[in-house]
Amino acid sequence: MTGEPDGDSTPTPRAGLAERQAELVAALVAGGPPPPGFAPGPLAATRAALLRKRAGEVARHWPLLAAGLGARWSTTFAEWAARRPTAGSLRDGWDLARALHAQHALPPAAAEELAVREARLRYDGLRAPRPRRAPAVGRAGGAVAVQIAGRVRLLRPAPRVSTLAGDAVADAAGS
């Protein structure tokens, strides 16, 4: 019941449709090239709308990350996500937070949020996050969180930037 007659290996119209649909989805959510026959303007507008929707979903799972970036949230997320297919909002936020942490660009509140998640859940970047069973410590941007018996506590908050007399100097942890 594949839609192909026995012994005939020519593609069916359904197979061609599936290929065109896959090209369209790749162009919209994974940064693929525009498929033939689609106007680039409306395709770009749809891609931007889907990225905004995706950013909103990630912000619901990672509110401190979105709030910490403030007005830069939309552009930061869009630049990061433009060439990445979604792995789900929780994982997208986690991957973005880790990427910002690696670049020393993670805001302090988001560092605390990441440290708590790292202590509570196990996430290798490939499979879905799973609850930790053993005691664990999560660290990010100077923040330290510990999980014992299923309870997570933030032991040390992330250092904040000094803004006395307009002097914005980052702390030693790079937060």
Residue 132 has pLDDT above 80, yes or no: yes
Residue from 73, 71, 128, 132 nearest 97 by CA: 73
The average pLDDT across 18-38 equals 80
Domain range summary for the chain, segments of one domain joined by +: 19-156
The angle at the Cα of 144, spanning 142 to 148, to the nearest 5 degrees, equals 170
The average pLDDT across 30-54 equals 84
1 exposed, middle or buried (CB, 10 Å; 0-12, 13-18, 19+)? exposed
Residue 82 token pair: 């433009």
pLDDT digits (tens, 9 = 90+) for 67-121: 999 999 999 999 999 888 888 999 999 999 999 999 999 999 999 999 999 999 9
